[in-house]
Chains A and B, each alone.
Chain A
Amino acid sequence: GAGVSQSPRYKVTKRGQDVALRCDPISGHVSLYWYRQALGQGPEFLTYFNYEAQQDKSGLPNDRFSAERPEGSISTLTIQRTEQRDSAMYRCASSPIYRGYTQYFGPGTRLTVL
């Protein structure tokens, strides 16, 4: 399809395990964003990339969270040593880089940490 895709759609893991969440943006979109959404709340910004460069990672909650986009396309958000408080929907969005662009969201990955 032509939209943003994310995998896996659902991830259940045990506390202390590492997880990697993948985002495949819309073809031709050079900006990619990660957000986290707790149940009943609006998404909160984590980090974003223009091409392969990470422009802003100020929203990452601590150093267990990291993200990369090595070839300027697919991105991976990694959470090390997961904790129960990491349970949430993790959303990826992409957009063209011109001014005033709209961000288009993927379906999200529902992460549950037991």
Chain B
Amino acid sequence: AQTVTQSQPEMSVQEAETVTLSCTYDTSESDYYLFWYKQPPSRQMILVIRQEAYKQQNATENRFSVNFQKAAKSFSLKISDSQLGDAAMYFCAYREEETSGSRLTFGEGTQLTVNP
């Protein structure tokens, strides 16, 4: 079974600084997708960024970017110019297309605090 591990239960960053959240996963598949979701205090689940495993180029969405290392099975999220609104729980998620159907497998989450 696929597993997703987020080894940092909590992280903090100063406003306007940069922070990196770590995620590793375990799979024997070559074709899959990776996601970062944000869960603010409202407990909504908001997509931050996604990465296709077959793409070598790292995904970027404004201040959010990923460092995807396929061989190392690592998928970290970098938040640049952190803002108070970035404070949330961040979940890394994996999805495989074939044997597991379309389910998302989530990590345990990293609680990000942004200090003014």
Residues of A within 8 A of B (CB): 31, 33, 35, 40-45, 48, 55-56, 59, 89, 91, 93, 95, 99-100, 102-105, 107-108
Considering residues A93, A102, A104, which has the most beta carbons from chain B within 10 angstroms of its beta carbon? Answer: A102
Give the dominant DSSP class at A's interface.
strand
Which B residues touch A100, using CB under 8 A? 33, 52, 97
Which A residues touch B44, using CB under 8 A? 105, 107-108
Which B residues touch A59, using CB under 8 A? 103
Closest Cβ of chain A to B66, distance in Å, is: 15
Give the dominant DSSP class at B's interface.
strand
Pick from B95, B101, B108: contact of A42, CB under 8 Å: B108
Pick from B103, B106, B108: contact of A48, CB under 8 Å: B103
A55 and B102 contact, Cβ closer than 8 Å, known pairs A42-B108, A100-B52, A102-B50:
yes
A56 and B109 contact, Cβ closer than 8 Å, known pairs A91-B45, A100-B33:
no
Residues of B within 8 A of A (CB): 4, 33, 35, 37, 42-47, 50, 52, 91, 93, 95, 97, 101-109
Question: Closest 8 interchain pairs by CB?
Answer: A42-B106, A105-B45, A45-B103, A56-B101, A42-B91, A43-B106, A42-B109, A42-B107
Q: Are A45 and B97 in contact, CB atoms less than 8 angstroms apart? A: no
A-B contact pairs, 30 of them (CB 8 A): A35-B104, A40-B109, A41-B108, A42-B93, A42-B106, A42-B108, A43-B106, A44-B106, A48-B101, A48-B103, A55-B101, A55-B102, A56-B101, A56-B103, A59-B103, A93-B45, A93-B104, A95-B102, A100-B33, A100-B52, A102-B47, A103-B95, A103-B102, A104-B47, A105-B44, A105-B45, A105-B46, A107-B42, A108-B43, A108-B44
